[in-house]
Amino acid sequence: MSDLSFVRTEMLPPKEPPATEVGVIGWLRENLFSGWKNTVLTILSLLAIYLVLSEILPWIFHSAWNAGSLDECRKLIKSAYGEEASGACWAVIRERWLQLLFGFYPTELYWRPILTFVLLIVAIAPVLFPELPRRLLSFTPIFPFVAVWLLWGGSIWTPIMALLGFVIGYVAFTLVTPRMGAILGVIAAVLVPVIWWLYLAGPVAEAIHGLVPIGLEPVKSRLFGGFMLSITIGVTAIGASLPLGIILALARQSDLFIVKTLSVGFIEFIRGVPLITLLFVASTLLNIFMPPGTNFDIILRVMIMTTIFAAAYMAEVIRGGLAALPKGQYEAAAALGLDYWKSMRLVILPQA
């Protein structure tokens, strides 16, 4: 063997990538300056941003935070930055900050919406973060009733009786389904709680409150406002629209003609009407269609309409997920001997 033979036992270390291909410079070249068109658009965008910020930033920072009126704000700005200066009058924000957050909610009761917001985070945290203890999920379905009691006040027994209606519906479903079938079980699970809420929950709550008077100072809905009202309506609409949207999506996928037609009609009608129109209907026209003497709370009416509106769009999102699943998933669920509801709950909906 020649003395010049050589066998490498180690790989050569890789060379460092060019500085223009990695890091900030590489990102800029790839995303903003990858071609002459992107370069022109980037330069024009930077110019537009500069022109906008050059007008907005002086207006934001050449401002006044302590003033009793708009005229006083203008005088303070001109005296500080020159006669030609103009700026924002943040004094109104500073003065009305709590009103922007809580509306006209009583000042001494601010702790109630603050506590409700904290409990909201506790309720949704185990849903968003699976690594948290699963025991926290037991508080999630209870939170809506606690929130209503904290925000509106009144007897604590009223939300407890409302929650008891769902328990009664579940008991009715478990008792009726094995004996009479799933359809009658669902009907019982709906009718029994409705009867409880309409005729029994109120008198029972009043009777218990007379014996054990536990409650908070009532607050009228007309005092709600600001961020608190927005987050209340938004969370309610999003949370309540999910189960309703699932039902509408399953109904639209159903082979039953009447069920499918009603679902399609409802979804397309709601999606075809602007939300502002539904809110006007909720505030002015809804009571016209109710029996004489019926007076729904204005916030409750808005919550109902926003929930219906969100449910129509939620149904379309879920239907898209159902349509994207291959037919083999349905066949696999049937091969396991699962009925319709079990296949939906265990196989189909988790993937949709």
Q: What DSSP string describes 55-82?
A: HHHHHHHS-BSS-SSHHHHHHHHHHHH-
pLDDT for 157 equals: 94
> What share of the chain has pLDDT > 70, as a percent?
97
Q: Is the dihedral of CA 218, 223, 225, 229 positive or negative?
A: positive
pLDDT for 328 equals: 86
Give alpha helix (H) positions in 62-181.
70-81, 91-95, 97-102, 111-128, 143-152, 157-180
Measured in degrees and rounded to the nearest 5, phi and psi for residue 89 equal: -105, 90
pLDDT for 330 equals: 84
pLDDT for 106 equals: 94
Average pLDDT value for residue range 121-131:
91
Measured in degrees and rounded to the nearest 5, phi and psi for residue 154 equal: 90, -165
Q: Is the pLDDT of residue 274 over 70?
A: yes
Residue 228's nearest CA partner among 333, 126, 129, 97 is: 97
- Residue range(s) in the chain whose domain bears CATH number 1.10.3720.10: 225-352
pLDDT for 94 equals: 86
Q: Distance between CA atoms of 218 and 211, rounded to whole angstroms?
A: 19
| Superfamily (CATH H level) for 225-352 | MetI-like (1.10.3720.10)
Lowest-confidence region among 35-49, 54-68, 262-276: 54-68
Please return the burial class of 60, using the count of CB atoms within 10 Å of its CB with bins 0-12, 13-18 and 19+. exposed
> Is there a contact between 111 and 84 (Cβ–Cβ < 8 Å)?
no
pTM higher than 0.85 for the full model? no
Q: How confident is the model at residue 108 (pLDDT cuts 50, 70, 90)?
A: very high
Q: Which amino acid is at 201?
A: A
275 token code pair: 């939300």
Cross-strand partners of 216: 154
> What share of the chain has pLDDT > 90, as a percent?
43
Instruction: Give me Rg for the CA atoms of the chain.
Output: 30
Q: Is the pLDDT of residue 4 over 70?
A: no
Q: Is the pLDDT of residue 254 over 70?
A: yes
Q: Is the pLDDT of residue 2 over 60?
A: no
Q: Which long-range contacts (CB under 8 A, 24 or more apart) does 319-326 make?
A: 319/249, 319/252, 319/253, 321/351, 321/352, 322/249, 322/250, 322/253, 322/348, 322/352, 323/253, 324/352, 325/351, 325/352
